[in-house]
Structure 1
């Protein structure tokens, strides 16, 4: 019987005040695709850093190809064939594709000057191995997320690779791009390379992996063939509880219209879009990359002052020509990228929550510290944000709690319409369920109208009354969520390709 490629036994890793990995066993066979699942803080990232030599465990055994390793450094892990592609891809956005692909080789050879012709040759060879075509002279920062990911994979495969670790690789990808990635992962497996795939998305786990390993609170709680799991069993293992898949019923059909959009256009991006949202309604918006859905949201929020058409809130026309006008009219927008667009990562949780209502919490030039703290505490309590204290930096929170901070900030403004762009991207299943519960509660109790932009089809089906599909800047379909199945919507989205 062939020995595992990598075998970890009784691994324990501690940090001050917590045990990140507690007596964990983990192995992966050559050319095996394994999915590692678990909520944020379950120990997944710590395990990856042990595998890649970044963390040294306090106890346990590391065995590569049957050889026990006393200590493992990042350099030795790479030499043994371990490559990790993190969520940010670790690329240089101001360098070209060729330069990104050739840089590690040039640095390894201790070169001081960049040979552009050779960089192009090296880059072309790397892309040819994957069978993909990307402009070698394009700056990486100008590429789509999918193409940046391909560059990161190509770079990882330039050195002898035996285990490729992919950390949340589909977070910002659409359905078509995910299909392309999965085909590539299977090609990598066919070349004899093992793949450790980290994901929060149940459907993806079941589709791409051969074996699933689930962590909870630093322990391995479930492991087995993918065929032995269902979405429900994965969720229960990850969270320790059953999270229902009930659908949101929504308001009565005669509920008052909160948002009415007529003939909205943004030159070159959105064309003649009309729709409405009723009080208490959650409406989904989906479409392929470049469909215009984000541009539509930005126009509603006053970030595309060149837009045309008519926008009404509670029957009154508004001029959403800038953000302040949109906020004053009762529109709030939670952006797609909470890290770069939604949060001040080094600032306190309280400051992030109250950033939009400082004037309301001030008396003249001075902030009312008591009111400031109370407003933040009230938001933390109502949205069930798990914090180490409101004065701590928001960057210390998990992804799900960070997202609730962003939502809480905009709820402080008392909106009538809440636009959510990718509301649970990169959020674990437990936090996702809590965010959904809070949104439903706000819709029912406050009459909030919600526009939910998402690629997550189960999220749309479970939380929306209707789902709108966009393609090439136009609304091309409206689906009643009652009775519709995931495969129906996936088929419609693929039909837009």
Structure 2
């Protein structure tokens, strides 16, 4: 019998008093697509770091091609064909797409003179393999989150890995990009390359993987062929509980004044003649393919597209949103798509992140009132159920779900009337996602908050919104009642736009 490509036997790893992994065993066969699932904090990241040589296990053994490997380092792991695509992309934002893709090969060649023709050829080949179109001359920092993710994936595939570890690779991708990625994954599988696919998205696990391992609290709680699982079973294994889908219906007064009215909103080259209404207590979904104008719409409403045309009214009164400060003063809050690069101050504490947008409300004569600020931060930690014993901890020590709660909580301290959520649960595990959804529904239902929810996650939109607007190439092309549609039906509508 052929030995697995990589086998982990009875691994254990502790960080002080925290047992990150407890007796974990896992085997990945050659050319196998194996899914690793678990909530944030379950031990997935530690397991990935051990396979890639970043961390050493305290006990247990690692076998590659049937041979025990001791003291595995990142260099050793790469030499043995292990490549990892991390959630933070690990790209150079100030370099172009082509430079990011070609850099490692240029360094390996040892050449002292860069051939820009060769750099472009490498980039074109990498994107061709992935089946996507990326501008090789575009600086990576100017790309949307989805574009950065695609560059990271393309770069990893250039190294001809034997095992490709993909940590939440579809976090910011739309259905079309996910389908393209899956074609690439199946293509590299046909060449005998194994893939360890880490995802929070149930449908992706069931669609792409052949085998599934679920870990919870550092232990394997379920493992086997993917045919033995369904969405409910994966959820139970990951969380230890049943999580049922909950729809949301606005219970507002008939004939109430719209909280937000947008008429003929246009941004040259980005948005064209967008009109809609948002009622108090309503959760309005925004969907569309990559490049549809979803994020541009959010930025225009948050005052970051000052040259826009059209009219915007809040509570029936015209609002001039020429800057983000004007939008904040009008009661608008914006939670961006990428919490790590756009939403959080990573070097700061939880408290400082929570208080970042409300210093004016908590200050007197320009001096922050420390007692009032501490009380406000502590109250929001409780209100948002942020899992931390103290707000003085670095925000980087929180899980993705708790970090997202911090970003949302920061704006809630400003008592906004309109909350714009761009990808509210991107990269968040199923348990934390359900908690964030409940909080959003409670805010709309109990406080009359108007919510714009921009998302690629179709179940998220169907389960949490009253209505869903569909954008395509900067225009509003469809509107559906969430109660009268389904994920499949909405997916077909979006598919017809491709």
TM-score of the aligned structures, taking structure 1 as reference length: 0.95
SS at match of 2:259: strand
Determine whether 1:44 maps to 2:72.
no
Counterpart CA distance in 1 for 2:394 and 2:455 is 28
Cα deviation, residue 126, structure 1: 4.7
Cα deviation, residue 107, structure 1: 2.6
TM-score of the aligned structures, taking structure 2 as reference length: 0.95
Contact 1:469/1:478, CA 8 A, preserved across alignment: yes
SS at match of 1:357: coil
Cα deviation, residue 104, structure 1: 2.3
**Distance change (3 Å), C-alpha of 1:367 and 1:424:** same
Cα deviation, residue 203, structure 1: 1.1
Query: Which residue is equivalent to 1:338?
Result: 339
Cα deviation, residue 102, structure 1: 3.6
Counterpart CA distance in 1 for 2:323 and 2:116 is 44
Contact 1:255/1:279, CA 8 A, preserved across alignment: no
SS at match of 1:294: helix
Alpha-carbon displacement from aligned partner over 1:412-438 (angstroms, at most 9, x marks no partner)? 111111111111111111111111101
Cα deviation, residue 12, structure 1: 0.5
Unaligned regions of 5+ residues in structure 2, if any? none
**Distance change (3 Å), C-alpha of 1:289 and 1:58:** same
Counterpart CA distance in 2 for 1:360 and 1:458 is 37
Counterpart CA distance in 2 for 1:420 and 1:94 is 27
User: How many residues are treated as equivalent by the alignment?
Assistant: 497
Alpha-carbon displacement from aligned partner over 1:179-227 (angstroms, at most 9, x marks no partner)? 1001110001001100011111111111111111111111111111111
**Distance change (3 Å), C-alpha of 1:392 and 1:14:** same
**Distance change (3 Å), C-alpha of 1:245 and 1:369:** same
Cα deviation, residue 136, structure 1: 4.7
Query: Which residue is equivalent to 1:213?
Result: 213
Query: Which residue is equivalent to 2:9?
Result: 9
Alpha-carbon displacement from aligned partner over 1:58-99 (angstroms, at most 9, x marks no partner)? 100111111111221111111211111112332333334444
Cα deviation, residue 246, structure 1: 2.0
Alpha-carbon displacement from aligned partner over 1:10-42 (angstroms, at most 9, x marks no partner)? 100111231111110011000000111111111
SS at match of 1:312: strand
Contact 2:252/2:280, CA 8 A, preserved across alignment: no
**Distance change (3 Å), C-alpha of 1:61 and 1:439:** same
Deviates more, 1:338-347 or 1:207-216: 338-347
Query: Which residue is equivalent to 1:68?
Result: 68
Query: Which residue is equivalent to 2:245?
Result: 245
Query: Which residue is equivalent to 2:415?
Result: 414
Cα deviation, residue 8, structure 1: 0.4
Determine whether 1:320 maps to 2:334.
no
Counterpart CA distance in 1 for 2:252 and 2:154 is 52
SS at match of 2:265: strand
Query: Which residue is equivalent to 1:196?
Result: 196
Counterpart CA distance in 1 for 2:450 and 2:354 is 21
Query: Which residue is equivalent to 1:105?
Result: 105
Counterpart CA distance in 1 for 2:218 and 2:467 is 39
Deviates more, 1:163-172 or 1:148-157: 148-157
SS at match of 2:249: coil
User: What is the CA RMSD across the aligned residues, in angstroms?
Assistant: 1.9
Counterpart CA distance in 2 for 1:363 and 1:476 is 48
SS at match of 1:250: coil
Query: Which residue is equivalent to 2:482?
Result: 481
Counterpart CA distance in 1 for 2:449 and 2:430 is 24
Counterpart CA distance in 2 for 1:316 and 1:121 is 55
**Distance change (3 Å), C-alpha of 1:145 and 1:445:** closer
SS at match of 1:359: coil
Counterpart CA distance in 1 for 2:154 and 2:324 is 40
**Distance change (3 Å), C-alpha of 1:109 and 1:359:** same
**Distance change (3 Å), C-alpha of 1:215 and 1:323:** same
Contact 2:6/2:63, CA 8 A, preserved across alignment: yes
